[in-house]
Structure 1
Amino acid sequence: MDPELKFKKINYTDVSLSGGYGYNWVFARNWLAAASLSLALGYKSSSSDTNHSTFTLKDFSFHNFNIDGVGRFGIVWNNMRWYYGANAIIHTYNYHKSKFSTNNIFGSLNIYVGVNFGRMK
């Protein structure tokens, strides 16, 4: 194994600035669909115990900038007494270096049922 790949500790930093667009659509009585997409310009850096363990300005590199994304999608039925729905959140992250790179995509799906106590018909 390459000795440069052996380490015990990694410090990873990710700072990002994001913006996006969201849209809600009432497509039938009591039904709502929603979607939003966000892109982020992220600065990622890492260091390990094989080199110094703190970030300094001389470590700054324009090669550490990446574009990440988040998508949120949902659908809800609501009759003012009961509501049912589902939503999904999907994240994408990128990290690229000369000896290591990764593209991560992960998400979650939520399904829910509820009752509104404050407003009864």
Structure 2
Amino acid sequence: YHYQVKNKNYALKIGYAYNWVFRRGWVLGISEAPTFGIRKGYINTPDHTRTTFAMSNRARASIIYNHEKKWFFGIVANADTGLIYDKEHTLITNNLNGEISIGYRFNIW
């Protein structure tokens, strides 16, 4: 099935993040930021614009290891979700991704 969606969002995002050093060199981080507001646009019918409730969320989790102040390794997971809703349609969107980083700190200064 094919959806054609175009809209503008006017919303307020609030969030919270927490980092926890659970062992020397190790950091665990989590965050969440829900968004609530108004969405103005259309679903499938460009000449039928509506104003509806808007809701989305962004969640992240990461774990990082710092080795002897030079090397670092990290894994990050991201989850973005959204809800597009009116009387005729309900569309839930998701975008899940992750990244792995390995790096070396150069002391240039």
If the TM-score is normalised by the length of the shorter chain, which range does it land in? 0.7 to 0.9
**Whose strand fraction is larger, Structure 1's or Structure 2's?**
2
Question: RMSD over aligned Cα, in angstroms?
Answer: 2.3
**1:7-59, CA deviations, whole angstroms, 9 ceiling, x for partnerless residues?**
xx75321232101110000001100000011111132122343x26xx7xxx5
Largest Rg, 1 or 2: 1
Please give the alpha-carbon distance, in whole angstroms, between the structure 1 residues aligned to 2:60 and 2:12: 18
Q: Kindly, what percent of the aligned residue pairs are identical?
A: 24
Please give the alpha-carbon distance, in whole angstroms, between the structure 2 residues aligned to 1:82 and 1:70: 29
Paired amino acid for 2:40? S
Paired residues in the alignment total: 104
Where does the alignment leave 5 or more consecutive residues of structure 1 unmatched?
A: 1-8
* Alignment equivalent of 2:10, drawn from 10, 15, 19: 15
Distance 1:43 1:90, change over 3 A: same
Give 1:97-116 correspondences, 5 Å limit.
97-116=86-105
> Contact 1:87 / 1:109 at 8 angstroms: preserved in 2?
yes
The structural deviation recorded for 1:105 is 1.9
**Whose helix fraction is larger, Structure 1's or Structure 2's?**
1
TM-score computed with the length of structure 2 as normaliser: 0.82
The structural deviation recorded for 1:106 is 1.5
